Structure 1
Amino acid sequence: MKGQNQWRMVVQRIIRSEMSLRGVKYQGLSDKLAEIGVSQTADNLRNKVNKGILGADLLLQILFVLKSRPLSAEMMAEVMAAGDSD
């Protein structure tokens, strides 16, 4: 298995991919989270996603409000493999 930095990259890429698929920018993500009672500024979200460091609760909340595709081990492996080729 890969190191901690690779897992952070996976988090970053999955969130960015889901945002891109839905045409959601960080302010829109902040607004969507506010609708479910989660207070995060656009800048705070950008920093957390760019670093790939956020709590499991926030990750799930983000995936929920984005109506994300299901996560699977295969999807994560594909993201890791794509990162290896960068």
Structure 2
Amino acid sequence: MAEKTDWELKAANLLKAELKRKGVTYAGLVEKLAAIGVVEAEANVRNKLSRGKFTAAWLLQCLNAIEVTELRL
């Protein structure tokens, strides 16, 4: 399996941190994504975050779904 790049690791960690900050589990994220019309299985969410491989659009959908309005990089 290929190693995660630094950027993939940063993106995954950023989303994980925001989920933790908001108290949202992967199952909760799936529900919130569904509410905005994004169908995703919990296993897919877990795999995307584990691999660090997802699009910027998906990252923005997740952040929108959990109502993140500000990010500190």
TM range (shorter): 0.7 to 0.9
**Match of residue 58 from structure 1:** 58
Larger Rg computed on CA atoms: 1
Amino acid at match of 1:14: L
Structure 2, unaligned stretches of length 5 or more?
A: none
Output the aligned Cα RMSD: 1.4
Q: CA deviation at 1:71?
A: 3.2
Q: CA deviation at 1:66?
A: 1.4
State how many pairs are aligned: 70
Q: What is the distance in 2 between the residues matched to 1:54 and 1:26? A: 15
3-state SS of 2:5 partner: helix
Q: CA deviation at 1:69?
A: 4.6
Instruction: Using structure 1 for the length normalisation, give the TM-score.
Output: 0.75
Q: What is the distance in 1 between the residues matched to 2:71 and 2:5? A: 19
Q: What is the distance in 2 between the residues matched to 1:59 and 1:8? A: 11
Q: Deviations over 1:20-57 (max 9, x none)?
A: 01111101000000001100011100100111111121
Instruction: Using structure 2 for the length normalisation, give the TM-score.
Output: 0.87
3-state SS of 1:31 partner: helix
Question: Which structure shows the bigger proportion of residues in helix conformation?
Answer: 1
Give 4+ residue runs of structure 1 displaced > 4 Å after superposition: none
Structure 1, unaligned stretches of length 5 or more?
A: 76-86
**Identical counterparts, % of pairs:** 34
Q: What is the distance in 2 between the residues matched to 1:67 and 1:5? A: 27
